[in-house]
């Protein structure tokens, strides 16, 4: 079988290359999946490269998500021929992942492919899209409804951001997309954004306790100075779903005022350890609420051989939308 193998040399440098390996090298666990497609997420960029402490041991097969067909299973929940999706559970980091023609994983980590999705569409969605949907569901659970006002999406031309824009627009929300790439404005409008906000408008750190109330909700992939500013611009009682840290791990310039004077909620979203039932709920919502023609417009097709280049590109914020990797 073919796999992207990352090896570490004596100087501690990592090298990624496609190799032919024996299937017997796969970890011994419950379900063997013939992988159709995987994707490229920010974390994959880290794991294709030096690992950033995420990879447990080398040689390693990255790929934090995949979709394919069960080939063998010692767990009664899955049978040969079943179509499945995997995201999270530190697969592709602590365990061998989806950048291979086969993967062997625990049954608990899998979700049956929802009706209405192909394995390719599931990976066009991938961890990024699942996270976007979990964020939309969290905002809805905290009261967001169409008509409440503009919903801000930061890091909008990235993977999570692109899917979030498309889902929110399809649900009837007015969507404002923040991007540092003005050349992506037309793309974001094609996904349903009605307002484009330049990244620089939200990156200055201020000491103001509050600003004018603008946003009815926010899905934030950036954190850093941007989240500090956005919190002060949220409408009374609204929520921000924090999903990422593309702009830094701190929340710069943040004050307590939005929380105690405007009742703003900051909702943390984690896709990795998300319980099975909510994962299933999110995938079913994706099959229903994500417009498939717009999903296709976000897709850049790739093969295993493209991954070293794409891994480096996503770390520089240069990947648009969703990469779908045909591992065969
Ligand atoms: P992408 O790289 O595809 O998207 C991130 C986007 O953020 C970029 O496209 C860019 O958008 C913007 N951006 C990048 N650097 C900066 C910066 N310095 N300042 C401001 N904006 C910046 O990554 P993903 O969409 O896959 O992931 C986004 C984030 O979410 C990552 O931090 C990732 O680790 C995290 N994540 C978290 C998950 C969870 O379970 N909570 C699951 C998946 C991802 P633009 O060019 O439009 O400005």
CB atoms within 10 A of CB 115: 9
Do 2-113+296-326 and 126-268 show the same overall fold? no
- In this structure, the residue with its CA closest to atom 33 of ligand 1 is 244
CATH superfamily placement of domain 2-113+296-326: Medium-chain alcohol dehydrogenases, catalytic domain (3.90.180.10)
ipTM of the complex: 0.99
**Judging by beta carbons within 10 Å of its beta carbon (0-12, 13-18, 19+), is residue 120 exposed, middle or buried?**
middle
From the CA of 157, give the closest atom in ligand 1.
47
Cβ of 248 closer than 6 Å to ligand 1, yes or no, is: no
**Atom of ligand 1 at shortest distance to CA of 128?**
43
Question: 177: Cβ below 6 Å to ligand 1?
Answer: no
Give the Å distance between the CA of 259 and the centre of ligand 1: 25
Sorted by where each begins, the domain ranges of the chain are 2-113+296-326, 126-268
CA distances for 261 relative to 63, 121, 125, 257, 265, angstroms:
43, 43, 37, 5, 11
Report which ligand 1 atom has the smallest distance to the Cα of 41. 26
**Per residue of the chain (328 residues), what is the pLDDT tens digit?**
999 999 999 988 999 999 999 999 999 999 999 999 999 999 999 999 987 789 989 999 999 999 999 999 999 999 999 999 999 999 999 999 999 999 999 999 999 999 999 999 999 999 999 999 999 999 999 999 999 999 999 999 999 999 999 999 999 999 999 999 999 999 999 999 999 999 999 999 998 999 999 999 999 999 999 999 999 999 999 999 999 999 999 999 999 999 999 999 999 999 999 999 999 999 999 999 998 888 988 899 999 999 999 999 999 989 998 999 999 9
CATH code matching the domain that covers 126-268, chosen among 3.40.50.970, 3.30.70.1050, 3.40.50.720, 3.30.1300.10: 3.40.50.720
Q: What is the pTM of this model?
A: 0.95
Q: Ligand 1 center to residue 74 CA distance, Å?
A: 37
């Amino acid at each position: 079988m073919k796999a992207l193998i990352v090896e570490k040399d004596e100087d501690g440098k990592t090298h990624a290359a496609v190799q032919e390996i024996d299937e017997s090298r796969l970890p011994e666990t419950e379900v063997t999946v013939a992988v159709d497609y995987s994707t490229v997420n920010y974390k994959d960029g880290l794991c294709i490269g030096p690992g950033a402490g995420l990879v447990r041991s080398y040689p390693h097969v990255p790929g934090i998500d995949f979709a394919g067909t069960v080939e063998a299973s010692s767990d009664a929940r899955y049978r040969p021929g079943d179509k499945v999706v995997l995201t999270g559970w530190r697969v592709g980091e602590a365990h061998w992942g989806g950048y291979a023609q086969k993967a062997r994983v625990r049954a608990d980590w899998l979700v049956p492919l929802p009706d209405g999705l192909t394995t390719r569409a599931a990976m066009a969605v991938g961890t990024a899209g699942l996270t976007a949907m979990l964020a939309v569901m969290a905002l809805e659970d905290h009261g967001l409804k169409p008509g409440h006002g503009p919903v801000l999406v930061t890091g909008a031309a990235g993977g999570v951001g692109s899917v979030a824009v498309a889902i929110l627009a399809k649900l009837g929300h007015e969507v404002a997309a923040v991007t540092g790439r003005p050349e992506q404005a037309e793309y974001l409008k094609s996904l349903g954004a009605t307002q484009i906000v330049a990244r620089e408008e939200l990156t200055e750190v201020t000491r103001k306790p509050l600003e004018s109330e603008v946003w009815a909700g926010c899905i934030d992939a950036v954190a850093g100075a941007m989240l500090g500013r956005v919190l002060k611009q949220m409408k009374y009682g609204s929520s921000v779903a924090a999903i990422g840290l593309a702009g830094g791990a701190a929340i710069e310039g943040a004050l307590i005022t939005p929380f105690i004077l405007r009742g703003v909620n900051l909702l943390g979203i984690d896709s990795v350890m998300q319980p099975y039932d909510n994962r299933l709920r999110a995938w079913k919502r994706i099959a229903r609420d994500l417009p498939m023609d717009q999903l296709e417009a976000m897709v850049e097709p790739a093969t295993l051989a493209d991954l070293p280049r794409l891994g480096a590109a996503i770390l520089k914020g240069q990947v648009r939308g969703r990469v779908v990797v045909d591992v065969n």
